[in-house]
A and B are shown apart, each in its own frame.
Chain A
């Protein structure tokens, strides 16, 4: 019989890093305890996992690391409730559990040969970081065309992965546009909401795929901009975050119409979502 999908893999927390200035988001780096464990966890960008704090419970988080970074898994977690708070308080060296990988992933095969436009807002940037890292890997970069990334946060302190954003800025094979909502002293990059910045940057829809993750309002107002740029529903990819428990299509809570976001998603094209009711 297949491995019991409810059993977590024990992993060691090696880093509990305060990611944002408001301290509400921490990035956790978990190390596999053995090579065998790592082999049992083959994942792709866009997948998620149930992270468990023994004694508190488990909660689903997008995997922020990329399969091109072996040895560990990364998650960036906002403090909102029981499990996320327990994680924030967890000391480095503690053993936690990770169950997965779960869900489908960004269609990296079908995206080959295309220009990639990645649009992210707030802390939904986690699996987008995984995807960008995957594409930038020297062995993969040649498979894709231009890579444009638009990433917005309320203020500079709330941007995730600041060191990496700086590194990406230096590179010529990624066009990174970071934006914040209102001007701040010392901020030299863009100011404005993601939809407006998308309009201004105006990435071409020609032979392109757009991947968009962020708060519902951002998605709502960015969608018409993408459509105006000529992006068809088939060219727009989204990732949903319905509340989940089992992650394997059995507990019944994450469905949108006849699809379970955990098992059939979380990654859907806009064309696929147009076929489903708006329960997300």
Chain B
């Protein structure tokens, strides 16, 4: 199927009558996924958003429940969001990250109803990447600019139109209802050509990485990586696979809410015990945790790396710490030339 670029705002408006639509919107120099009020707000001339769209499913701050204290007890009201949503223009790496987060929020013992309810009610319309950034290394992390994994529909830019390919059954049903015209052979060929010419230049060698991490927890190599790190957590806040959070109460008098907010393993208070003891007291331990979690613990538990190679942590780090260099160092490859 095919949709002309000129028709896209109208199509988004149509979707908005049934769904909350999240799409990339320009905010100053950045793109961010936001709930749009009009199809013309969406802006697809982006490489990727500053912050990943994971927040549509796992918001930076969300109410879990509200309560009201009465003489007899507490009245609780669950705040589960079951609104139907479409994330329009999600990049393949970010779609892949949601497949990874599914393992966390639906683990061997517990289900997180907030994330999972949103997940069930959200359609992902992906946008293939024709011009990956210099910081992208998705193809080394089991995904890539045309990876359809986790998507419901994939769009490919072919000049003045997008090729629309349904991926899942839900995506097929959505696409069928949009009244799009069929794609001609020429248009399919244009998409295939775009695919062949898109290149992710940067590669990170992760072969044997897990085996090294299995053995190097006490290695002196960890003394170095954190030296420049400020502990600001920009890397984890902008990472599509990071899922750490805090839970707090916000209350006035008898009325309150329990709220969860994104948190980060890069903060010292994250693990500080009431006794004053801290199992990860310094930058060294915290940087090691971040790397180990993504490239060893997650692999142990879910057989996949918790990194999709989106490069956001590299772009957003104020002191230019580069996860690719850390991995190369661990692999004994010395400083790679970015």
A-side residues, CB < 8 A to B, are 1-2, 4-8, 10, 12, 33, 52, 54-58, 78, 80-81, 84, 95, 97, 215-216, 241-243, 245-246, 248-258, 263, 277, 279-280
B64 lies within 8 A of chain A by Cβ: yes
A178 to B: closest C-beta gap in Å: 23
Could you tell me if B244 and A78 are in contact, using CB atoms closer than 8 angstroms? Answer: no
A4-B78, A54-B67, A78-B274 are contacts. A249–B109 as well, Cβ < 8 Å?
yes
A6-B258, A255-B297 are contacts. A243–B271 as well, Cβ < 8 Å?
yes
CB-nearest residue of chain A relative to B278? Answer: A243
What are 21 A-B contacts defined by CB distance under 8 Å? A1-B116, A4-B113, A6-B113, A8-B76, A54-B67, A54-B69, A55-B256, A80-B275, A97-B74, A216-B277, A242-B271, A245-B263, A248-B109, A248-B110, A248-B112, A249-B110, A250-B112, A252-B245, A253-B244, A257-B217, A277-B217
Could you tell me if B105 and A250 are in contact, using CB atoms closer than 8 angstroms? Answer: yes
Give which listed residue, A7, A95, A246, A250, contacts B78 with CB less than 8 A.
Answer: A7
B147 to A: closest C-beta gap in Å: 26
Q: Chain A's interface: helix, strand, loop or mixed, by majority?
A: loop
Q: State which of B7-15, B247-255, B307-315 sits at the interface with chain A.
A: B247-255
Given the complex of chains A and B, what is the CA–CA distance between A265 and B247 in angstroms? 20
Give which listed residue, A1, A33, A246, contacts B247 with CB less than 8 A.
Answer: A246
Give which listed residue, A10, A57, A250, contacts B107 with CB less than 8 A.
Answer: A250
Give which listed residue, A4, A54, A57, A249, contacts B248 with CB less than 8 A.
Answer: A57
**Nearest 10 CB-CB pairings of A with B:** A252-B244, A55-B251, A258-B297, A80-B274, A248-B110, A258-B300, A95-B73, A279-B279, A57-B249, A251-B245
Could you tell me if B247 and A57 are in contact, using CB atoms closer than 8 angstroms? Answer: yes
Given the complex of chains A and B, what is the CA–CA distance between A28 and B108 in angstroms? 32
B301 lies within 8 A of chain A by Cβ: yes
Given the complex of chains A and B, what is the CA–CA distance between A73 and B277 in angstroms? 28
B338 lies within 8 A of chain A by Cβ: no
Given the complex of chains A and B, what is the CA–CA distance between A12 and B71 in angstroms? 12
Determine the chain A residues whose CB is within 8 A of the CB of B110 once the complex forms: 2, 5, 248-250, 263
B222 to A: closest C-beta gap in Å: 11
B310-324 contact mask (Cβ, 8 Å, vs A): 1 or 0? 000000000000000
Given the complex of chains A and B, what is the CA–CA distance between A249 and B73 in angstroms? 29
Determine the chain B residues whose CB is within 8 A of the CB of A243 once the complex forms: 270-274
Could you tell me if A279 and B247 are in contact, using CB atoms closer than 8 angstroms? Answer: no
CB-nearest residue of chain A relative to B281? Answer: A279
CB-nearest residue of chain A relative to B270? Answer: A253
Could you tell me if A54 and B251 are in contact, using CB atoms closer than 8 angstroms? Answer: yes
Could you tell me if A251 and B265 are in contact, using CB atoms closer than 8 angstroms? Answer: no
Determine the chain B residues whose CB is within 8 A of the CB of A58 once the complex forms: 247, 249, 258
Determine the chain A residues whose CB is within 8 A of the CB of B300 once the complex forms: 258
Q: Chain B's interface: helix, strand, loop or mixed, by majority?
A: mixed
B215 to A: closest C-beta gap in Å: 12
A35 to B: closest C-beta gap in Å: 16
B203 lies within 8 A of chain A by Cβ: no
Determine the chain B residues whose CB is within 8 A of the CB of A216 once the complex forms: 277
Could you tell me if B109 and A253 are in contact, using CB atoms closer than 8 angstroms? Answer: no
Chain B, range 200-217, C-beta contacts under 8 Å to A: 217
18 extra interchain contacts, Cβ-Cβ under 8 A, other than A6-B64, A249-B104?
A4-B80, A7-B78, A8-B76, A54-B67, A56-B249, A80-B275, A95-B74, A245-B245, A246-B245, A248-B107, A248-B110, A248-B112, A249-B109, A251-B263, A252-B245, A252-B263, A257-B297, A258-B296
Could you tell me if A1 and B69 are in contact, using CB atoms closer than 8 angstroms? Answer: no
Given the complex of chains A and B, what is the CA–CA distance between A256 and B263 in angstroms? 18
Could you tell me if B279 and A95 are in contact, using CB atoms closer than 8 angstroms? Answer: no
B317 to A: closest C-beta gap in Å: 20
Give which listed residue, A6, A52, A280, contacts B279 with CB less than 8 A.
Answer: A280
Could you tell me if A263 and B109 are in contact, using CB atoms closer than 8 angstroms? Answer: yes
A81-B274, A253-B265 are contacts. A2–B111 as well, Cβ < 8 Å?
yes
B306 to A: closest C-beta gap in Å: 11
CB-nearest residue of chain A relative to B73? Answer: A95
Give which listed residue, B243, B271, B296, contacts A250 with CB less than 8 A.
Answer: B243
B63 to A: closest C-beta gap in Å: 11
Best-surrounded residue of A33, A252, A255 (most CB of chain B within 10 A) = A252
CB-nearest residue of chain A relative to B299? Answer: A258
Given the complex of chains A and B, what is the CA–CA distance between A64 and B280 in angstroms? 28
Best-surrounded residue of B74, B243, B248 (most CB of chain A within 10 A) = B74
A25 to B: closest C-beta gap in Å: 13
B257 to A: closest C-beta gap in Å: 10
CB-nearest residue of chain B relative to A240? Answer: B279
Best-surrounded residue of A2, A242, A250, A263 (most CB of chain B within 10 A) = A250
Determine the chain A residues whose CB is within 8 A of the CB of B292 once the complex forms: 257
